[in-house]
Structure 1
Amino acid sequence: MAADKVDAAAELDFHHPFTPYDVQLEFMRAVYSVLETGDGQVGILESPTGTGKSLSLICAALTWLRNHKRGKYESSFNAVADGMQGEPDWMIELALKRKREELTRTWEEREQQLNKIRQRERVQEDKGRGNKRQRVDHSDSDRKGAVDEEKEFLISDWHDTQDEDNIEGEATGGLSKETRDLMEKVGLGGYKRREDEKRVETEDEIKIYYTSRTHSQLTQFISELRRPTFPPSIPQKTDGGKDEQGEREGEVVKQLPLSSRQKLCINPGVARLGSLSAINDRCAELQQSKSTKCAFMPDDENLKATHQFRDTVLATLPDIEDVYRIGKEMQVCPYYASRTAIPGAEVITLPYPLLLQKSARDALGIKLEGNVVIIDEAHNIMDAVANVHAAEIRLSELRRARQMLGVYVKRFGKKLQGENRIMVAHVGRVVESLTEFLDTTLTKGGNDGIADTNLLLKARGADQINLYKIIRYIQESKLAYKVESYVAHAEEQASDPASVPRKSTPVLHTLVSFLTALTNLSNEGRIFYEKLQPTQSGIGNADIKLSYLLLSPTHAFSSIANSARAVILAGGTMTPFEDYTAHLFPTLPPTKITTLSCGHVIPKTNLCVWALGSTLPSPTHSNALDPFMFTFSQRSDKKMIRSLGLTLLNVCSAVPDGVVMFFPSYGYLDEVVAVWQTAEPNTKSLWDRLALKKTVFRESKGGSSDDTLQEYTQAILDPPKEATTRGALLLSVVGGKMSEGINFSDRLGRCVLIVGLPYPNSNSPEWKARLEYIESSTLSRLTDSGTDKGRAVEEAKQASRDFYENACMRAVNQSIGRAIRHRNDYAAIVLIDKRFGTRQIKQKLPKWIRSELVEGSQYKGLQGLMGALSGFFRGKRGT
């Protein structure tokens, strides 16, 4: 990265609403430098939870964006001057003045109109949002009386149009051809100008696309976005040419949240369908229908309301709930009307799936070229990419699909004409072939493995059927919606009125998702089967499922990496960084990647980090006596498990309030608890002794984490008066419900203990396939680049080992991060395994943990740990 750009970032005012800490300044400068350099730059940035990461991202990115816009305006003035070379100075000055006045007038008119809308919104908020005009969607309001089954459920005539653009459409929430035509017709594609409407002019300028994992995280980000004030995007000059920016009021950030129909549909008859796929299908069907239209779809009649929706959204920094409310108040569909706000938005927030799938981006009209992408909570981005491309289907679902098709064909078979009859039969053959494959596999030995894709569609001649055409047919004909709606209707009509009607599950939509994955098979993906016991299947009988797994995110993420001006991956626990560079940006040179691991904002005295290698100290500091080594082959040793229990008992004696211990898996947690609950001769069990120190809770695989967390919190913050314990102990699992998204701040997490290294099961079919793929793809890349074969083989094996180890350490780091949540928080972190003291593992801990890990602590035994804990918490009394 150019040194002058780094220096420039160092001198900037980031408009942070508070006085930023040094680590926040370091983080903001790194973000700004990546965005300013552009040209496909990537930033992989780690800032621990509690350091104000979201606000730092906002301040750095918006400061850069406003500066960039101001620079573009200045460039336009320079272009005017350059075009008038040789003209008298007074003519150049006059032309520049007119250009500046024109830009300023346009900007002021837009801001004044948006400000009026903001003021009107505030008045409405003060008065309450009273009675609003309600338009009733007669086509989908709750029906009374008999249903015209043929009109409601019979598939319309279908002809294969070979509209390749629509292959990926509705299954991913995309726009159908009919929708695109309609949007263009009413001006939502080309934004037709109406003479009788004064509207805010917008330009499709550079944007920041911000994405996070959940809607709640996006809502929190928008709340933070409302804190700072940024200077206007247009420079204001006096006649003397001096900048008056400081004298102007800040310009409100224009932000737009995007989401799915499921979150934004205001048509009660459609929204009540529940599932995203059913809502998508019914929405598209209403657009195609000539007799029943959705009353909220933007059209010529409500174009003014659509533009008012756009201006209101851009004026008010809304979250998803606000967008839904604004659409409902203006009686216009917020899902479609949101597209009119995209050109004028500066920041667009959206959940992972809408950004990570190219088909979803295309459907929403999102163009990443030249724009900025910020991915927050990016520690799980590779899993997120895999998840949005994953698909699975169960034998029980296929049997249900076959039953539903049978019911539908029995009722409407004679009414199906032409291609409909052929295509429904083809869908049935595909379902029967997959069913037969799973039926056969269920009776064979082995609980899981890789499925032979050549056998999936071998039965009933299904391998001769064009799957692309099947997918297109189900999407365009709305077969899934029609079949499932009719079967649900038939079951409701046939059921005992006193009983609850059985609701159909969207199994045909599940089939489409799986077939789409099947047609996208490449060397990056595999199909797996897994047998499910009755407790897993949820249906009371053994079941089996097929799953598509993306082995590598490289190709799927490349459309983002190759398009955006800059990509920022930010998170609280991004260490180790190597996986992101190797598997998301494998072709980028090191000069285009910036990595940063920030320290914490807490004082060093607020953190105690210890690696416990054994209960007994080692005199030689080389090999610990009776080591804690929780490898898969050694961790069942009962002596070591009892030593672990005695260690925990001592820790609970020294640590006030809350203690959280993370185990490698639910199975091992159960195994350890069973040993602790076994009483020794003439003594209480370790479990009972722990219960005398603290109220003990444990996470269960199928239990409610909310209930457990609430009870744990109450035992610490509001214990019963008669309680004899001092605080609470929570036994949890790395990668479980308590290891991510849960805050054990302050008294809830004064000590976090990690037991062993939670390596994934390398013998599982999924991990075997993943590691083999990484090794083979790395070997191929190195060989193609001319690397010596022997060296290439060794480097490929090392890449596979690193990926495996990094997956383990990311999970550890995420669990560690549950403890320290703000500047004044303090906690002890105890890493219980001899391997935590090795250089290889230590270097994969976050910088703020690694720097405070007591050197040689793995050799000092339990006595050394207790001395450190006692001194640490003694110094915290009264704080």
Structure 2
Amino acid sequence: MAISTENDSDADTRAPLDFHHPYTPYDVQIEFMRAVYGVLEKGNGQVGILESPTGTGKSLSLICSALTWLRNHKRSMYEAGLEETAKSMAGEPDWMIETSLRRKREELAHKWEEREARLDRVRAKERMMEEKGRAGKRARVDEGGRGKKKDEVDEEREFWIGDHEGDGGSGHDPFSLLSKETRDFLSRVGMGRAEAEEDDGKEEDEIKIFYTSRTHSQLTQFISELRRPVFPPSVPSDTVTSKREGEEPTTETIKQVPLSSRQKLCINPSVSRLGSLSAINDRCTELQQSKTKDRCAFMPTDENLKQTHQFRDAVFATLPDIEDMHQIGKGLQVCPYYASRTAIPGAEVITLPYPLLLQKSAREALGIELEGNVVIIDEAHNIMDAVANVYAAEIRLSELRRARQMLGVYVKRFGKKLKGENRVMVAQLGKIVESLAEWLSGSLQAKTEHGIADPNGLLKHRGADQINLYQLIKYIHDSKLAYKAESYASHVEEQNFSASDTKSRVSTPVLHTLVSFLTALTNLSTEGRIFFEKLPGPPPDIKLSYLLLSPTHAFSSIAESARAVILAGGTMSPFDDYKAHLFPTLPPSKITTLSCGHVIPPSNLCVWTLGSTRPINGTGVPPDAFEFSFQKRDDRDMVRQLGLALVNICSVVPDGVVVFFPSYGYLDQVVAMWQAAEPASSTSTAKTIWERLTARKVVFSESKGGSSDEVLQEYTQAILSPGENGKGPGKATQTGALLLSVVGGKMSEGINFSDRLGRCVVIVGLPYPNINSPEWKARIEYIESSTMSRLLSENEQEQGGSAKPTIQVQAVAKQVARDFYENACMRAVNQSIGRAIRHRNDYAAIVLVDRRFGTDRIRTKLPGWIRGGMVEGSETKGLQGLMGALNGFFRSKRGV
């Protein structure tokens, strides 16, 4: 059942709707799909914040609801168009109106039938090739003498920036870096800035669903799910008929295009081998310049227009993922990165990773228009961190020294040939490097380990504060200075070192890193902060980091443009942060929230709050209560009691137990205490807590720098294949395994502890971030000040004049900041809890070890399905109550 909903859409979402789900959906799936459909139907900037636990088929529910709405919407728009035509001809003879409407229907039918027939031919051809085993591979295009020794002329042509002209750069047009021929071609197929000419193969731009998730693997999984359901045609069923069968078509293939970076899609070996995304981008755009002789042979042009259209049709016919796109482009010998643009206008679903959607410049470069379209953000629990990461940048002192060395090598070779603007700009970049390096060198000698840096102070040396950063950054992009200087430095090193030395070196794109940091410096100072932090050596190092303090402004271009935005995830609770920091000005009437229950029966979940090992009587907090706060977590007796509680839990829980600690440092500290000898009052033969744990289960511990894959593999093997290859139980008393992990660590997100791997998940304490760190101090300060400014502005509008800060306004601002801090903690907790219970027949116990989990303030921030499975009053019943509950729970599951 749905645990909570807000702002049910005005659309009649309770009316019977066929979502074309390939299976019989659960009640929670129906509720979820209705919520999505309602948000999309209402449109007009609506937002849905929807939570559906892992294992409830969230991705398939998103697909079925969104595609059902899209197809219904297309048919309704078609019908509305016919009605509008009829209204505009009011007063004309009936036969004339009917003729006009029939002609419109015939045009639509012809276009639809032609497109579907074309895609059918593509599918038939592919099936035939598969059956005959003739999936031909075209010969690789010669890389153009890659192994030849460069002479001085080639060297100058590749590395020299002397041919750069002052204003020939990109400006605000991401396509201006391409050659005129390329821009003309892209405009003819519906891309670019120029007016497009008529082209028979051009697809009409239609309403789209932009679906984004964190990683390419998650997008690949989504595309796999996209292949399961089938949907009716996007035109009224009585409009077209199948020429082969003479019947109305009942289905239509989903038109989906996956987008990605050049790094994933480039098929030019001489470019893709560069490795660095920045270097690949620069080299690719350089090869499109009209003055470049060795132009990329894979770039879509008039000469390979047929292959480009074949690429588009193959994409629409096959529901490809990124790897498929690469192979299609390789087979047709046409660039997938640019050819995919021709498929965008006719696509229904466009899948892309977070950075390509969240950054406006990336959307412009891809030709993505969000206006009037739908945006679905999956795994949205970390969307605010994702926005901050997209805009984050950092530079180290060691990288600045390397950049200075690269520029020195470059200027030594080409300095006398640099003229005019080129000479000035290269000198300015050198001053920037010197100033930043000088500031960091001084900070490295200071006693302070970390803190906030003043942007003005960073550029006060060498006259760098007089430099126009916007103009310099634009010049570097236009001239490809970073790419050319780094390429030349690598070229020189290759000449000076042996082959073995060259293979062992890793070329770091430090100039590109520097440009990213300079770009961050141009952001509004109110939106971000720059931090410095010393790094352990040897040799000692120090870095500058830019942190975006609020995602509001960066996300506003998406929220304001899209018809509707859906934020979906398995653990979205608590919801308040998304409203306050992504959509602060959106009225409540435009936000729909939903927290779905789980598909498991209530008997498959046992949630217990362990507040103390002893029963708690009365309302006060007993001195021996579990409270793993910064002030109390070092209490050796409390740590010992935690260990004894785990020994008891491991004695009754079968198979796998996963324990999450607040941090790696605290995990190591606790393990050290458990491994120490028992107090002197105990007998000399008393076993340590660690020995008792290892007697119950095979114990594994996650380490900060270690391999999570290896630990997970050994943990899995100890449970599923005990005793194999020297792993697993060494004693008859051992049953299963215990994994000690960290909230926010490698095991807390994306890892599946289903079935026997996670019969019990234990959360130790509340993993609050370090509020004394410079980053969190800056965040809290920013949230308080921005909240206060917003409240004062609202008060001014209400009062019709200026408003002054009041105690009440200040209190509200502090509470908003406190909630943000606490919600960051609870999102991490909820992610860890979600590692267990991965499907309908799964079952597990969740043990929350900290008395604060029993407070209403914390409990309300747990997911609805967790709150629903919580044993009432468990925080007061102690360890004995927990053991009775676990014994009963797992006894009822024997034989399941």
Q: TM-score range by the shorter chain?
A: over 0.9
Q: Which residue in the other structure is 1:46 paired with? A: 51
Compare 283-292 and 727-736 and name the one that shifted more: 283-292
Return the letter of the residue paired with 2:383: I
Q: Which residue in the other structure is 1:820 paired with? A: 837
2:131 aligned with 1:126 = yes
Change (3 A) 1:510 1:206: same
Compare 740-749 and 414-423 and name the one that shifted more: 414-423
Q: Which residue in the other structure is 2:159 paired with? A: 153
Change (3 A) 1:155 1:140: farther
Q: Which residue in the other structure is 1:461 paired with? A: 463
Change (3 A) 1:670 1:138: closer
Return the letter of the residue paired with 2:417: K
Paired with 2:144 and 2:162, the residues of 1 have a C-alpha distance of 17
Q: 2:365 aligns with which of 354, 363, 366?
A: 363
Shift of 1:157: 2.5
CA RMSD after TM alignment: 2.2
Q: 2:349 aligns with which of 321, 343, 347?
A: 347
Paired with 2:55 and 2:663, the residues of 1 have a C-alpha distance of 27
Describe the SS at the equivalent of 2:539.
Answer: coil
Paired with 2:520 and 2:196, the residues of 1 have a C-alpha distance of 42
Matches within 5 A, 1:63-82: 63-82=68-87
Paired with 1:150 and 1:645, the residues of 2 have a C-alpha distance of 68
Matches within 5 A, 1:102-181: 102-139=107-144, 141-143=146-148, 148-161=154-167, 165-166=171-172, 174-179=174-179
2:508 aligned with 1:505 = yes
Q: Which residue in the other structure is 2:228 paired with? A: 227
8 Å Cα contact 1:186/1:303 also seen in 2: no
Q: Which residue in the other structure is 1:751 paired with? A: 760
2:255 aligned with 1:248 = no
Shift of 1:89: 3.3
8 Å Cα contact 2:396/2:544 also seen in 1: yes
8 Å Cα contact 1:664/1:758 also seen in 2: yes
8 Å Cα contact 1:155/1:477 also seen in 2: yes
Q: Which residue in the other structure is 1:537 paired with? A: none
Q: Which residue in the other structure is 1:806 paired with? A: 823
Return the letter of the residue paired with 1:158: H
2:693 aligned with 1:687 = no
Compare 739-748 and 200-209 and name the one that shifted more: 200-209
Shift of 1:97: 2.5
Q: 1:530 aligns with which of 519, 533, 544?
A: 533
Paired with 2:806 and 2:526, the residues of 1 have a C-alpha distance of 22
Shift of 1:110: 1.0
Shift of 1:186: 5.8
Q: Which residue in the other structure is 2:26 paired with? A: 21
Change (3 A) 1:304 1:497: closer
Change (3 A) 1:63 1:819: same
Matches within 5 A, 1:440-519: 440-501=442-503, 502-519=505-522
Matches within 5 A, 1:341-740: 341-501=343-503, 502-534=505-537, 540-620=538-618, 622-624=620-622, 626-680=624-678, 681-720=684-723, 723-724=730-731, 725-740=734-749
Describe the SS at the equivalent of 2:477.
Answer: helix
2:788 aligned with 1:779 = yes
Paired with 2:221 and 2:239, the residues of 1 have a C-alpha distance of 39
Paired with 2:443 and 2:297, the residues of 1 have a C-alpha distance of 49
8 Å Cα contact 2:188/2:197 also seen in 1: no
Q: Which residue in the other structure is 2:16 paired with? A: 11
8 Å Cα contact 2:9/2:592 also seen in 1: no
8 Å Cα contact 1:408/1:486 also seen in 2: yes
Compare 785-794 and 391-400 and name the one that shifted more: 785-794
Change (3 A) 1:372 1:716: same
Paired with 2:380 and 2:831, the residues of 1 have a C-alpha distance of 12
Shift of 1:134: 2.4
Describe the SS at the equivalent of 1:345.
Answer: coil
Shift of 1:226: 0.4
Describe the SS at the equivalent of 1:360.
Answer: helix
Return the letter of the residue paired with 2:155: E
Shift of 1:108: 1.0
Describe the SS at the equivalent of 2:231.
Answer: coil
Q: 1:837 aligns with which of 854, 868, 873?
A: 854
8 Å Cα contact 2:71/2:232 also seen in 1: yes
Compare 325-334 and 409-418 and name the one that shifted more: 409-418
Q: Deviations over 1:597-640 (max 9, x none)?
A: 00000010000000000000123365446100101000000000
Compare 149-158 and 454-463 and name the one that shifted more: 149-158
Change (3 A) 1:522 1:714: same
Compare 626-635 and 8-17 and name the one that shifted more: 8-17
Q: Deviations over 1:639-659 (max 9, x none)?
A: 000000000000000100000
8 Å Cα contact 1:389/1:517 also seen in 2: yes
Return the letter of the residue paired with 2:675: Q
Paired with 2:255 and 2:500, the residues of 1 have a C-alpha distance of 53
Describe the SS at the equivalent of 2:870.
Answer: coil
Shift of 1:3: 7.0
Change (3 A) 1:835 1:110: same
Paired with 1:369 and 1:107, the residues of 2 have a C-alpha distance of 25
Q: Which residue in the other structure is 1:94 paired with? A: 99
8 Å Cα contact 1:743/1:818 also seen in 2: yes
Shift of 1:239: 12
Question: Number of aligned pairs?
Answer: 863
Paired with 2:653 and 2:52, the residues of 1 have a C-alpha distance of 27
Q: Which residue in the other structure is 1:792 paired with? A: 809
Return the letter of the residue paired with 1:182: T
Q: 2:329 aligns with which of 309, 315, 327?
A: 327
Q: Which residue in the other structure is 2:799 paired with? A: none
Return the letter of the residue paired with 2:278: S
Paired with 1:436 and 1:239, the residues of 2 have a C-alpha distance of 72
Q: Which residue in the other structure is 1:217 paired with? A: 218
TM-score of the pair, normalised by structure 2: 0.93
8 Å Cα contact 2:600/2:840 also seen in 1: yes
Paired with 2:813 and 2:473, the residues of 1 have a C-alpha distance of 38
Paired with 2:255 and 2:549, the residues of 1 have a C-alpha distance of 38
Return the letter of the residue paired with 2:106: E
Shift of 1:201: 5.0
Return the letter of the residue paired with 2:83: N
Return the letter of the residue paired with 2:286: E
8 Å Cα contact 1:176/1:284 also seen in 2: no
Return the letter of the residue paired with 2:865: W
Describe the SS at the equivalent of 2:882.
Answer: helix
8 Å Cα contact 1:374/1:570 also seen in 2: yes
Paired with 2:686 and 2:18, the residues of 1 have a C-alpha distance of 65
Paired with 1:314 and 1:606, the residues of 2 have a C-alpha distance of 43
Compare 569-578 and 466-475 and name the one that shifted more: 466-475
Paired with 1:188 and 1:262, the residues of 2 have a C-alpha distance of 26
Return the letter of the residue paired with 2:791: L
Report percent identity of matched pairs: 70
Describe the SS at the equivalent of 2:287.
Answer: helix
Paired with 2:820 and 2:280, the residues of 1 have a C-alpha distance of 39
Q: Deviations over 1:648-704 (max 9, x none)?
A: 000000100000000000010011000000022421111111111111000000001
8 Å Cα contact 1:661/1:752 also seen in 2: yes
Q: Deviations over 1:717-764 (max 9, x none)?
A: 111167422100000000000000001000000000000000000000
Q: Deviations over 1:313-348 (max 9, x none)?
A: 112111001111110000000101111110000000
Describe the SS at the equivalent of 1:413.
Answer: helix
Gaps of at least 5 residues in structure 1 are 535-539
Change (3 A) 1:440 1:47: same
Paired with 2:429 and 2:258, the residues of 1 have a C-alpha distance of 37
Paired with 1:263 and 1:857, the residues of 2 have a C-alpha distance of 51
Return the letter of the residue paired with 1:852: G
Shift of 1:421: 1.6
8 Å Cα contact 1:104/1:236 also seen in 2: no
Return the letter of the residue paired with 1:435: A
Shift of 1:508: 0.2
